[in-house]
Amino acid sequence: MSKGNLTRRGVLKTGAVAGAGLALPTYLSAAGHEGFTNAPTGSTVTLGFNVPQSGPYADEGADELRAYELAVEHLNGEGDGGMLNTFSSKALQGNGILGKKVEYVTGDTQTKSDAARASAKSMIEKDGAVMITGGSSSGVAVAVQALCQEAGVIFMAGLTHSNDTTGKDKRANGFRHFFNSYMSGAALAPVLAANYGTDRKAYHLTADYNWGYTTEEAIKSSTEAMGWETVAAVKTPLTQTDFSSYIAPVLQSGADTLVLNHYGGNMVNSLTNAVQFGLRDKQVNGKDFQIIVPLYSRLMAKGAGANVKGIFGSTNWHWSLQDEGSKAFVQSFGTKYGFPPSQAAHTCYVQALLYADAVERAGSFAPCAVVEALEGFEFDGMGNGKTLYRADDHQCFKDVLVVKGKENPSSEFDLLEIVEVTPVDQVTYAPDHPQFAGGALGSCNNGA
Amino acid sequence: MFGLNKKDASLLLIVAGLVAFAPFLLNPFPEGSAMAQFNAGYPDLMQRFVIFGIFAIGFNILFGLTGYLSFGHAAFLGVGSYAAVWMFKLLSMNVLPAIVLAVITAGAFALIIGYVSLRRSGIYFSILTLAFAQMSFALAYSVLTPITGGETGLQLALDDPRILESASASEGNIPVPGLFGLEMRDSFEMVMGSWVFTFNFGYYFCAVIMLIAFYLSIRIFRSPFGMMLRAIKSNQQRLNYTGVNPRPYTLAAFVISGMYAGLAGGLMASMDPLAGAERMFWTASGEVVLMTILGGVGTLIGPVLGAGMIKYMENIISKINSDILHGWFAFLPDGLEDLVVTMIYPFIGKGWHLTLGIVFMLVVIFLPGGLVEGGQKLANLFGRKKADNPKSASTEPAE
Amino acid sequence: MDAIILQILNGLDKGSAYALIALGLTLIFGTLGVVNFAHGALFMIGAFCAVTLSRLLSLSHEVAIPGQVDFLGNPATRDVPYVFDIFGEALGSSIIDWAVPLSILFAIPIMILVGVIMERGLIKHFYKRPHADQILVTFGLAIVLQEIIKYYYGANPIPTPAPEAFTGSFDFGALIGFEPNTIIYPYWRLVYFAFAAIIIGAVFAFLQFTTFGMVVRAGMADRETVGLLGINIDKRFTIMFGLAAAVAGLAGVMYTPINSPNYHMGMDFLVLSFVVVVVGGMGSLPGAVLAGFLLGILESFASMREVIDIIPGINQVIIYLVAIVILLTRPRGLMGRKGVMED
Amino acid sequence: MGILEVKDVNKRFGGLQALGKVNLSVAENSCHAIIGPNGAGKSTLLNCLVGKLIPDTGSVMFDGQSVLGRTPFEINQMGISRVFQTPEIFGDLTVMENMLIPCFARRDGSFALHGIRSVISEAELRDQAESMLEEVNMIDKRDMHSASMSRGDKRRLEMAMCLVQNPKLLLLDEPTAGMARADTNNTIDLLKEIKEKRNITIAIIEHDMHVVFSLAERITVLAQGTPLVEDTPENIKGHPKVKEAYLGEAA
């Protein structure tokens, strides 16, 4: 197999080669081109897939990368087309984007904002990427989003759940398909009320950084609204691995519910520790003690093993959904890789398609044109039902899944079962909601 | 020249030449060729080379000369970046006040930490500095979020006051750092045949500062102060009985190298106005230690080479993916192509850490003096028996 | 009161892990004078011995389940471990259930082997080299080891549960006269503490009461003199390295049910264990153990809600803060000897 | 009144009385030897003089000022230089650099920021260092890496480093230990020459009686931490107490 080379400027590859050594220097100002950064001029267009390849989220990053490769295949008309067949917009023809073949470069975010920006910068400056996408944490998403705004390229966020990404740190060139902390709270609360009653005392353990704060706030406010009481909220360091000293005092506090506002390794460890301490076998205030994990990731849940059984949480998407879009995606991903995709893979795949579609509809790669095409865009057939890319904050509004750990998993991928598909209306909020206060989109930036 | 002896002056000139022509030297492969992947001549990476070069030069003033191994130097880099970003937020997007404040803040921070840590020596000193840096990181990531931006890092916002620039945010875009009207990201491209060379203002700005920093470090190495520092490393007891008080010398070296780190941090923020707490994590402190050892402890140019090597691997090797590999080896028959790709694949892309680890081990096993020694061996191999090689132009590696 | 007892238990448990790693690290410092940045990686390899053994035991073949389909619509299959075929389902499943304790037997030879190979193949050549070189080479080795593990096992944590018999928790409070459910503690953590105590005791007894141990202790105190006596100290030091590796590895094996192991767990522990060793005092084995437990307990207290409410962020920095205070008041840590790693 | 006055100095290490009621007076421009068997407290006494140890009680006055509570570098700045038993030099530095450091210390005090002026530009100090090197016959080794020199050269270098400071008092801790007889005689000659030329006070700790009797004008015999006798070399030679203390060890 032989793929084309990855170049900055397609022209150079085909033209200008003859007499290379003798050619007189041509001076180009960076502001030349067609009025925006990295305008594709040849027969190809380069996208930048910036995912964590090292560090704790490397497996999630690997899954994102698989999804992107699949998306590129489908955009270029290879493979079975996946969600292109179910997507409500029919602008994409399977001949690349605007007739240009899609090529891509990859980089490692290391789940550090510095490294992620370095990697994104090299994609923009060296490889001529016209869009950056990916990532598995909000810190990285916010950092790269700001960079893309400055550089004048589009950023399609990967997995990022913090309210801030489309709240106080939103940017005109950035778009998020993934759901957020507020939506988790809004979707979870009714289900929790139905299952555990409206008279509960909750104890929060919260990862001591931005995402943790917004998630704690979201869950607190939505559970308190239905009558729960928050006994305590304790912050835990990011680098904590053993949560025993945070878990142990929970029972003594009189709480009957533990909310773990943790993600990734923190979540695996805190949940494992909580189950170890036998919290779930206890009765407090005459009720069975319960644990809640607001943001579930199937990949991560695997690390917690049997401990997730019966524990409620929310997720953006799950492969067992039975709508046409999800089925098509699972089918083509599973056929290619032999296992079902994760929610991270799904959101990345969808983001890549949405971007391509927006370019196609706008008829241009210029970021401002793409922004215009995506703002207020309504679509369906991508696995989450009818979805709106809201113009005010570039957040997707769609159904949210409430899931719980499956009691009898039939395979290593079958860890979560869908309890409820919370309709979009229930998780929609006003753009000026206090949890999203501050910050401004600004205006789109075409860059150079 | 500039008060340097001939040897040092020529070293400085060589470095200046390399830095000035880096956009050419780092882009040896034509665009579109398979080897273009190894080109490093794009602004961000070139900036990183020189910025981390400054960081490592400064670290070497402490570690290379006095032998005090600080394991918390990244804290000063982080503090410098925070200071610079705050200047951008509050004052103006001009980089000069930001960099000046970064250096001063980092220096003050280093003075406090150094004053306390230098009460101990050896590994006890290392752990003290490590502890201070880890505390800085942990607090910056969590409870200090209002000041540091926490997880997402400290960023500019449209509604920042920027008291010296009132009209800048009018377009709905955050202004970018610059120097009296010249933006750091300004660059122009020169196309020569199928080669494209990018000349970036920010890079040259950093490069000039790096050359000044390098020049100062040579002067420090050659000054009585530098000699005292080397004496501290060599025999602190004798120094004491010779009537010299080592403590203020080490403290001065600590503060100077902290200021270098602050300078690097300020420049980083000037090139890319965001300061993240991860910059202060112990791995970041460890990185500059590794850069210095990899390049050659106590040598003038070694730390810069080490910094370049690590940053190159981080940014270039990590971006090679299997697709690119297949592209390279497409000329091979299919089966062989797949085999070669399978064999190389673990070392590139997400496996870049593995390559880095192997390089560390190979360098330290076969080149005890770091890359500088490798360069000498290479020079000797080609028969150019230079009487005054870089090693004798500097001090011996650490003992 | 009950809250304090609970945090002391937590502290002892955390301290066990710190102390075990720090013990091995100090043995290597003390005997070989080597700053071993790969020691965390040995802990991690130990943990992955447990993962490997439980995977080996669960090696299975597929048996089709009639009438069911998988997510792609193909006929579904069920995995049946080979041990079921050999020992029958009942014994087979309890063997799998006991994979972690069984891994101790599996890990000891492997860890000793890893340690000896490491020492003979690499570390040996760095005795006379500067500490800076030792740091670089062992750090490189640590990266290589963890990347190899990542390559084969992925980056995500891998659940490795304790045997069924040790899951759940023990009502410690009821035993000593508190209300039920006030002081409950997981069985496995109690096991871990006991295990750590046994290992630490065994290492001390070995050094105290065997001639081998006496020579090693003498070597730690004054290597040259022992060498002059015509005793081949190097060979013994190689064995000590293997022993230190085994201690770290066993700490890792037993840790797996507490937190699911992942490839970077060694790095996570590395810095902490260095702090522990230095706070304890370079070259002092009792110091390392004492510092491990001390820091573990203080860390637990600092994570109490009541404490965090008074001093926000104290849980983030407590260990480092304590380290600074101790090092400034006691120049050579708690029990350090003069002149070890001070220059 | 001597330049160095030690009065009633006591020093205990745990249960061990290292120094007990030591009184010592070294006259200006004299050469004073302190002898005694192993473990007599000679090194402890020396360490009390240079600030490495602080006596439990008693006083040490140098040139009319107390040295107690001062750090070694402060005491050196007062005018006491010390030569160690095993040569203490800056092994990573060249011979010339080794010489320059005491020159700087004498001119600039215990700490001075010299800016970034090159060492080479300090012509005056270089001259001083060079003439001192000539005096000890080491000028040809000026650019040598000092760690690679012979032990004898190292000791000569150390001596030169001390002398270039023009100390008022030079403390020598067994300067000929481990030397061959010829080297020992050279050292004796060197010290004699120095003494004549510089009007310097020398206090010397020595085992070798040959050295002691060739150089010393007064001798203090230390045993078990207390001075036995203090007298001229002639009187010491036949002193019964000394013989007893040395148990036939004396030459």
Transcribe D209-223 into DSSP letters.
HHHHHHH-SEEEEEE
Q: Show which subunits contact A, needing at least 3 CB pairs below 8 angstroms.
A: B, C
Is C91 contained in some domain?
no
Confidence at residue D181, expressed as pLDDT on a 0 to 100 scale: 83
Classify burial at D111, counting beta carbons within 10 Å of its beta carbon; exposed 0-12, middle 13-18, buried 19 or more: middle
pLDDT of residue C47 exceeding 50 = yes
Instruction: Determine the residue of chain B that is closest to C322 in CA distance.
Output: B131
- Interchain pair D119, B5: CB under 8 A: no
Helix (H) or strand (E) holding D229: strand D226-231
Q: How far is B71 from chain A (nearest CA, A)?
A: 18
Residue-wise pLDDT for B20-37, tens only, equals 888 888 888 887 777 788
∠ CA B242-B248-B249, nearest 5°, is 70
pLDDT band at residue C342 under the 50/70/90 scheme: low
Higher pLDDT, D175 or C115: C115
Overall average pLDDT of the B360-375 stretch: 87
Residue-wise pLDDT for A74-101, tens only, equals 999 988 888 999 999 988 888 899 999 9
In three-state secondary structure terms, B159 is coil
* Cα distance between residue A96 and residue A76, in whole Å: 4
Q: Does residue B218 belong to the interface with chain C, where contact is any CB pair within 8 Å?
A: no
Confidence at residue A14, expressed as pLDDT on a 0 to 100 scale: 35
- Interchain pair A272, C268: CB under 8 A: no
∠ CA A257-A262-A266, nearest 5°, is 115
pLDDT band at residue B383 under the 50/70/90 scheme: low
Chain B residues inside the 8 Å CB shell of C335: none
* Domains and their CATH numbers in chain D: 1-79+168-251 (3.40.50.300), 91-166 (no CATH)
- Interchain pair B174, A149: CB under 8 A: yes
Q: DSSP assignment, residue D94?
A: B
Q: Among all chains, which residue has been given the structure tokens 């406090």?
A: B112
Q: Show which subunits contact C, needing at least 3 CB pairs below 8 angstroms.
A: A, B
* Cα distance between residue B344 and residue B357, in whole Å: 15
Residue-wise pLDDT for B102-128, tens only, equals 999 999 999 999 999 999 888 889 989
Instruction: Determine the residue of chain B that is closest to A6 in CA distance.
Output: B32
pLDDT band at residue B56 under the 50/70/90 scheme: very high
D183's tokens: 């080297």
Q: How far is A199 from chain C (nearest CA, A)?
A: 21
D156's tokens: 């000569």
* Domains and their CATH numbers in chain B: 6-281 (1.10.3470)
Is C65 contained in some domain?
no
For chain A, give the mean pLDDT: 86
**DSSP labels for C240-292?**
HHHHHHHHHHHHHHHHTTTS---TTHHHHHHHHHHHHHHHH-TT-HHHHHHHH
Is C59 contained in some domain?
no
Residue-wise pLDDT for A241-275, tens only, equals 889 889 888 888 889 999 999 998 889 899 998 98
ipTM score? 0.88
pLDDT band at residue A24 under the 50/70/90 scheme: very low
Q: How far is B78 from chain A (nearest CA, A)?
A: 11
pLDDT of residue A16 exceeding 60 = no
Q: How many residues does chain C have?
A: 343
Q: How many residues does chain A have?
A: 448
pLDDT of residue A21 exceeding 70 = no
User: By the 8 A CB rule, do D215 and D208 touch?
Assistant: no
pLDDT of residue C225 exceeding 80 = no
- What is the pairing mode between strands A377-379 and D80-83? unpaired
Is C53 contained in some domain?
no
In this complex, the residue of B123, B357, B399 whose CB is nearest that of residue C341 is B123
pLDDT band at residue C341 under the 50/70/90 scheme: low
Q: How far is B202 from chain A (nearest CA, A)?
A: 13
For chain D, give the mean pLDDT: 85
pLDDT band at residue B267 under the 50/70/90 scheme: very high
Confidence at residue A26, expressed as pLDDT on a 0 to 100 scale: 37
Q: Flag the least confident range among B75-84, B184-193, C34-43, D152-161.
A: B184-193
R_g of chain A computed on alpha carbons: 22
Asked whether the CA dihedral C72, C76, C81, C82 is positive or negative, the reply is: negative
* Cα distance between residue C227 and residue C218, in whole Å: 10
pLDDT band at residue B171 under the 50/70/90 scheme: low
Confidence at residue B36, expressed as pLDDT on a 0 to 100 scale: 80
The pTM score is 0.90
Instruction: Determine the residue of chain B that is closest to C149 in CA distance.
Output: B354
Question: What residues does D25 pair with on adjacent strands?
Answer: D5
Closest CA to B193 of B27, B316, B42, B320: B27
pLDDT band at residue C60 under the 50/70/90 scheme: confident
Q: Show which subunits contact D, needing at least 3 CB pairs below 8 angstroms.
A: B
Higher pLDDT, D39 or A337: A337
pLDDT of residue B397 exceeding 50 = no
Interface of B with C in 225-264 (CB under 8 A): 236
Interface test with C, best of B62, B123, B350 (most C CBs within 10 A): B123
Domain count of chain C? 1
Confidence at residue A193, expressed as pLDDT on a 0 to 100 scale: 92
**DSSP labels for B347-383?**
GSGGGHHHHHHHHHHHHHHH-TT-HHHHHHHHHHHTT
Maximum average pLDDT range among B73-82, C97-106, C278-287: B73-82
Confidence at residue B326, expressed as pLDDT on a 0 to 100 scale: 81
Helical H runs in chain B?
6-20, 22-25, 43-66, 74-90, 95-117, 122-141, 145-148, 201-222, 224-234, 236-241, 246-271, 282-295, 302-316, 322-328, 334-344, 352-366, 371-381
Chain B residues inside the 8 Å CB shell of D95: none
Q: Does residue B368 belong to the interface with chain C, where contact is any CB pair within 8 Å?
A: yes
Q: What are phi and psi of B300, to 5 degrees?
A: -70, -45
Is C76 contained in some domain?
no
- Interchain pair A306, C161: CB under 8 A: yes
Is C146 contained in some domain?
yes
pLDDT of residue B399 exceeding 60 = no
Classify burial at B280, counting beta carbons within 10 Å of its beta carbon; exposed 0-12, middle 13-18, buried 19 or more: buried
pLDDT band at residue A387 under the 50/70/90 scheme: very high
* Cα distance between residue D112 and residue B110, in whole Å: 20
Angle between helices B302-316 and A113-125 (to 10 degrees): 80
- Express as a percent the part of chain D with pLDDT over 90: 13
Other Cβ atoms closer than 10 A to D59: 13
Is C242 contained in some domain?
yes
Residues of the domain holding C115: 2-48+98-329
Confidence at residue C340, expressed as pLDDT on a 0 to 100 scale: 66
- Interchain pair C10, A248: CB under 8 A: yes
Confidence at residue B393, expressed as pLDDT on a 0 to 100 scale: 37
Q: Does residue C132 belong to the interface with chain B, where contact is any CB pair within 8 Å?
A: yes
pLDDT band at residue A30 under the 50/70/90 scheme: very low
Residue-wise pLDDT for C286-316, tens only, equals 999 999 999 999 999 998 888 888 888 888 8
Closest CA to A440 of A24, A216, A146: A146
pLDDT band at residue D3 under the 50/70/90 scheme: confident
Residue-wise pLDDT for A189-206, tens only, equals 999 999 999 889 999 999
Q: Flag the least confident range among C73-82, C196-205, D159-168.
A: C73-82
Chain-centroid distance of CA C59 in Å reads: 27
In this complex, the residue of B226, B228, B233 whose CB is nearest that of residue D92 is B233
Closest CA to A186 of A440, A441, A420, A442: A420
* Cα distance between residue A441 and residue A168, in whole Å: 9
pLDDT of residue C173 exceeding 80 = no
pLDDT band at residue C339 under the 50/70/90 scheme: low
Classify burial at C105, counting beta carbons within 10 Å of its beta carbon; exposed 0-12, middle 13-18, buried 19 or more: exposed
pLDDT band at residue A22 under the 50/70/90 scheme: very low
In three-state secondary structure terms, A389 is strand
* Domains and their CATH numbers in chain A: 10-179+320-393 (3.40.50.2300), 182-315+415-427 (3.40.50.2300)
Residue-wise pLDDT for C242-271, tens only, equals 999 999 999 999 999 888 898 888 888 888
- What is the pairing mode between strands B274-275 and B154-155? antiparallel
Confidence at residue A13, expressed as pLDDT on a 0 to 100 scale: 36
Q: Does residue C317 belong to the interface with chain B, where contact is any CB pair within 8 Å?
A: yes
User: By the 8 A CB rule, do B215 and B2 touch?
Assistant: yes
∠ CA D113-D116-D117, nearest 5°, is 100
- Express as a percent the part of chain B with pLDDT over 70: 93
Q: How far is A127 from chain B (nearest CA, A)?
A: 9
Is C30 contained in some domain?
yes
